[in-house]
């Protein structure tokens, strides 16, 4: 089992560019989450999904969109990147709620 994987690991964008972060899990988990981690702010939930075809807003959803077309994949999109979106993004999944969440290795995004 690969667990939770994230693609890419690093990315540099210019302001206004768009990109999609991919999260994949092979544990047949129902729940998937996207967080951002910033110094002094801890982990903040962006969006999450409670099952295939569903998404919900978290604490900081503005500027991001998500899709869960397949159970194993959860995509995070930035339509028009801003410097404030420079962060480390983590994806996580869990079988049920509440339950142990398994995290991916993170994507370090810099927006210039």
Among 45, 63, 71, 72, binds other proteins (CB under 8 A): 45
Q: Label residue 2 left, alpha or beta by phi (over 0 means left) and psi (-120 to 50 means alpha).
A: alpha
- Per DSSP bridges, beta strands 87-94 and 42-49 are unpaired
Among 17, 19, 43, 67, binds other proteins (CB under 8 A): 43
Burial 46-75, CB ≥16 within 10 A → b, else e: bbbbeeeeebeebebbeebebebeebebbb
Residue 58 found at the interface with other proteins (CB under 8 A): yes
If the CB atoms of residues 17 and 52 are measured against other proteins, the closer one turns out to be 52
If the CB atoms of residues 28 and 100 are measured against other proteins, the closer one turns out to be 100
For other proteins (CB under 8 A), the number of binding residues is: 23
Among 16, 82, 83, 97, binds other proteins (CB under 8 A): 97
């Amino acid at each position: 089992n690969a667990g939770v994987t994230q693609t890419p690991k690093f990315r540099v964008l210019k302001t206004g560019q768009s990109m999609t972060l991919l999260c994949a899990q092979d544990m047949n988990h129902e729940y998937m989450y996207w967080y951002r981690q910033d110094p002094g702010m801890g982990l903040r939930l962006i969006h999450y999904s409670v099952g295939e075809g569903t998404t919900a807003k978290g604490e900081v959803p503005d500027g991001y969109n998500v899709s869960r077309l397949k159970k194993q994949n959860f995509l995070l999109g930035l339509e028009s990147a801003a410097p404030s979106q420079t962060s480390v993004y983590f994806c996580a999944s869990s079988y049920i709620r509440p339950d142990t969440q398994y995290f991916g290795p993170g994507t370090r995004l810099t927006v210039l």
